[in-house]
Amino acid sequence: MYGSRPHFTVYWLAAVFIAGALQGCASGVTRSTDSAPSKPYFADSSTKAGNVLVSLTPEAQAKLADNLKFDQEKLRSTIRRALEAKNLISPAPEASLPVIEVVVRDVRTRSNFTAVAFGFLAGNDHINGDVVVRDPGGRELQRFGVSAAYALGGLGGGQDDARMGWLYETFAKHTVEELTGTAAP
């Protein structure tokens, strides 16, 4: 009936698989287009932050009931470690230095079973947020958005620690690159 030609369904499934694989992990930075400053505040290596704060919007907090794997403190500590590696933050919180505020706008995490069994077909895990640098008086010095998404699955990429670790590290990497001006254009 089909002869030597593959059935149309095979092509369709291959196209879906390839599209999902290409979408696997995505991340990026969105620079503010309003009048707020967007110049990398920590481009000068002698500039340091006094603290990193992470909060969630009410919408993101509402989603936490479905996203138990997201850990606000792990995100904060990963960002702090990335800043420490570049010597961009004081060892202890210091009120006389600028503060880096991360406001998580959206978060989604798949269950371990869903990620392993369905991979990218079950959507992605993601963290989207705004990063704002404020001087001690509260004036905004820099603002940008960061997004990190992970859609791979299977036994290797579907484990909770692998997915969440990748999201935290990627979010922190983009945050530090944008703060220092070392991000790719």
Q: Does some domain include residue 4?
A: no
**CATH code for the domain of 86:** 3.40.50
User: Could you give the C-alpha distances from 148 to 42, 51, 169, in angstroms and in order?
Assistant: 22, 22, 9
- Taking only the tens place, the pLDDT of each residue in 126-137 is 799 999 999 999
* 75 located within any domain: yes
Q: Which helix (H) or strand (E) holds 132?
A: strand 125-134
Q: Is residue 9 part of a domain?
A: no
Q: What pLDDT does residue 32 have?
A: 65
Number of domains in the chain: 1
Residue 17 within any structural domain of the chain: no
pLDDT-derived band at 17 (thresholds 50, 70, 90) equals very low
In this structure, the chain runs to a length of 185
Please check whether residue 6 lies inside any domain of the structure.
no
Query: Which domain covers residue 78, as residue numbers?
Result: 25-180
Q: pTM of this prediction?
A: 0.75
Q: What is the residue type of 50?
A: G
Q: Is residue 20 situated within a structural domain?
A: no
- By DSSP bridging, strand 25-31 and strand 99-108 are unpaired
- Flag whether 3 is in a domain: no
Residues 135-175 have pLDDT tens digits of 999 999 999 999 888 765 544 454 556 778 888 999 999 99
pLDDT band with cut points at 50, 70 and 90 for residue 28? low
DSSP symbols for 10-72 = HHHHHHHHHHHHHHSEEEEEEE--SSS--S-TT-STT--BSEEEEEE-HHHHHHGGG-TT--H
Q: Is residue 15 part of a domain?
A: no
